Amino acid sequence: MLRGVVKSVLSGDTLVIMGLDSSRGPPPEKQVTLAYLSAPRLGNRTTADAPFAWASREWLRGQLIGKEVSFSVDYANQAARQFGTVLADQGRNIGLAVVQAGWARVQPPKPADGGAPPASSALEALLAAEAAAKEAGLGMWSMEEGAAARNTRVVDYAPDVPALLQRLQGERLTAVVEHVNSASSFRLLLLPDFQVRAAVRARARVLAWRGRYAGAARRRARRWRAPPRAPGAFGRDHVRTAPSRA
């Protein structure tokens, strides 16, 4: 298995994993969807969120963001989307944990995807976990009245940014870091109203965190490498450190 750090969580079943070797520039990244699972889909500017999509993503993000994991790619579909197995600390199978918590359904690969069916024992474990989560009403299987509506996020993707910034200026805000451009520039999603997805440039507090200016880094490596024996320098290291700790 390969090892890396979870840089971001795109949905309740999909991660971006970053390599450990930053000695020769930004480490490589790989997007991996948990094999044999399907979580509720997050929306975009043209498509609404599915019920429980945000809660599913946030549960997985809380489990893995910034943590080292082991992973393997098991199969890919016709769109070149890669599906794999991800193990966290002490060999914990993340796919199984997601199903046990009720945040994804079991979905074996279609024959056209070229993926081998999971081993009978692995599939049985996933199906048993799914059945138990359904019976207990966990996560997306909640039986509470109105749960789906309460757990459907509505995002304003096109706010009046100048007016919003003027209204919020000087306030302490809660936000989720959606993307790290560099150690001094992030894209945030403001909570709890999901009002805006905004690009902001962090100032003295973030710059002082690294001890020096977050300069430009080289182009990201394409090939996965083994971890280095010694850490990289500041100018390269911030590209790895900021995403994993934001």
pLDDT digits (tens, 9 = 90+) for 14-66: 999 999 988 888 889 999 999 999 999 999 888 999 999 999 999 999 999 99
Question: What phi and psi values does residue 120 have, to the nearest 5 degrees?
Answer: -55, -40
Indicate yes or no: pTM above 0.95.
no
Q: Which helix (H) or strand (E) holds 131?
A: helix 120-136
Distance between the two ends of the chain, CA-based, in angstroms?
A: 26
The token duo for 37 is: 């699972």
Tell me: pLDDT of 126 over 50.
yes
> 197 falls in which pLDDT band (50, 70, 90)?
very low
Question: What phi and psi values does residue 146 have, to the nearest 5 degrees?
Answer: 80, 5
Cis peptide before 40 (omega within 30 of 0): no
pLDDT digits (tens, 9 = 90+) for 145-166: 999 999 998 877 777 778 877 8
Which of 181-185, 190-194, 233-237 is the least confident region?
233-237
The mean pLDDT value for 115-126 works out to: 75
The average confidence (pLDDT) of the chain is 79
Question: What phi and psi values does residue 15 have, to the nearest 5 degrees?
Answer: -125, 155
The mean pLDDT value for 202-224 works out to: 48
